[in-house]
Amino acid sequence: MGGFRCRRCFMIFFLFFGKCQLDTISVTFDANSIRSTTSSQFVGVTLDSGLIRHKWENFDLRSLKVLTLAKGLSPYTNTYLRIGGTFADFCTFTPSALKNDTEQYRKASAFHDLFYEMTRSKPKNQTEFYMSARIWDEIHKFIQEAKFDLIFDLNVLMRTEANEWNSTNAIQLLKYTQRKGYRMAGWELGNEPNSFHHLNSSINVTAESLGQAYYRLSQILADFPTIRGRILTGPSTTQLNKKPTIRYFTSFLETKGGETVTSPNFHQYYVNGRTATVGDFTNSEILDSFEDELKTGNMIVALTGNERKLWLGETSSAYGGGAEGLSDAFVAAFMWLDKLGVSAKNNVDVVMRQSLYGGKYALLDAKTTNPNPDYWLTVLYRRLVGNKVLTTSSSRSPDVRFYTHCSAEGYLPGSVTLYGMNLRSVGVNVTFPQLDGQLKIYLLTAPNQDLKSRFVDLNGVTLEMTSDTSLPQMIPISGTNPVYMPPFSYVFILADEKTYSKACIHSWYNLS
């Protein structure tokens, strides 16, 4: 504890005496108008369907520790949990735990059988597996206790001999869900269908075929009004930076089934997890590449009508399961926080973080389920940042970037929260001309300036669970303009009660 106190004193020293740094960045925002509005459940999380196959690994749905960490993500509203991913298209529901009792489902889908026969030699055990009713029960008990809202990804590779989606198993799952009285937030059908050729060159689900499947699913869900959920999301393509993917995304949304989708979505990752470097995570050019994808997605969605809003259905730093020692370390925060800021200002409704558990990019450690640094960032974001976005401008530097929102609902109407980062290897002063008086500062840095650290310091104190049933206090430091930001740091700032946004206060009262 003595070391923690020492680092905290050192941080206070920086905040008040680091202002002799020469370089000063000015950050301003438009307090009079709302730029965009996200869902109040803007930040969601995912779990891979493959965890069901592997009996959840070290992720115990009944663990008090896991439940405490899950609840920490939902301070005001429930958090969306999507269970899906590559293994969703290998998953068959069965009311029995015994495979021999479910041969009827395999026989109902000759194409499905053929697909699995051709992929049995594929890596990662990409073969069929079964989700029993007991596991479905456990999932629903967990989401109720954890304050999650479930979106489930159904198997689109259940096919008929005519290569159409076979809905038999989906109906079986819906009937069971209705009988048990479970509620759903929404549904998805298939994972990255434009990229099935990576699994096997013989598999092809066209955008038109996927549209037919979604239309069939929308008709089925209409027969289950008590459980269907309001969300139908898709087509869940890979990222929108290549022409074939853009064509697939567009063609799907133009189909009759595509029109039934409430939340058009795609997946996005910045870099290859096998080749990523520390420098990639703080490279402003790599971070900037993401915004073009959002502009493309928003343009396509706008052209297809229905006043829908774009989702990031699955996203993190590095594809291929993440970059070991980086995607789960302090340095990952820069990609994650910037992605939240860029998404919010570009009118994305929901961002689904891959993942809560599983892979090298998870919020929780694979062996211990201890929080990785991005978990604490996500908790702070959910506590402090509201869903109304203000236009923000900063002077001169792409390496010091900030975003402004109306504060979360736990704060005074009209208050604002700013968040941002210093990607430089030297400290900078950041001044906020519109903010008067005392600022509540949540400054996050790497312990011992180690960007690969699996821990994060908040105002000089390392964030760790105090017990399996409680999170630590996350206490801000009071400061004034300018705010000193050390090298490679990020920050959340709440303005003094005397500073407020006209647009935020009007928005708050309109919603009341």
Q: Which residues are catalytic?
A: 192, 314
Other CB atoms closer than 10 Å to residue 30's CB: what's the count? 16
- Distance set, CA 26 to CA 155, 243, 394, 427 (Å): 50, 38, 6, 14
- Distance set, CA 73 to CA 2, 123, 146, 409, 474 (Å): 30, 34, 9, 15, 14
Q: CA angle at residue 66 from 63 to 72, to 5 degrees?
A: 140
CA distance 382 to 44: 10
Structure tokens that stand for 344 in this block: 């919010």
Peptide bond into 244 cis (omega under 30): no
**Quick check: 416 and 495 in contact, CB under 8 A?**
yes
Alpha helix (H) ranges present in 181-229?
Answer: 207-222
For CA atoms 213, 215, 217, 219, the dihedral sign is: negative
Peptide bond into 251 cis (omega under 30): no
Q: Who's near 23: CB < 8 A, 6+ residues apart?
A: 426, 428, 429
Q: What is the largest CA-CA distance in the chain?
A: 74
For CA atoms 461, 462, 463, 464, the dihedral sign is: negative
Mode of pairing for the β-strands spanning 186-189 and 231-237: parallel
Alpha helix (H) ranges present in 351-441?
Answer: 373-384
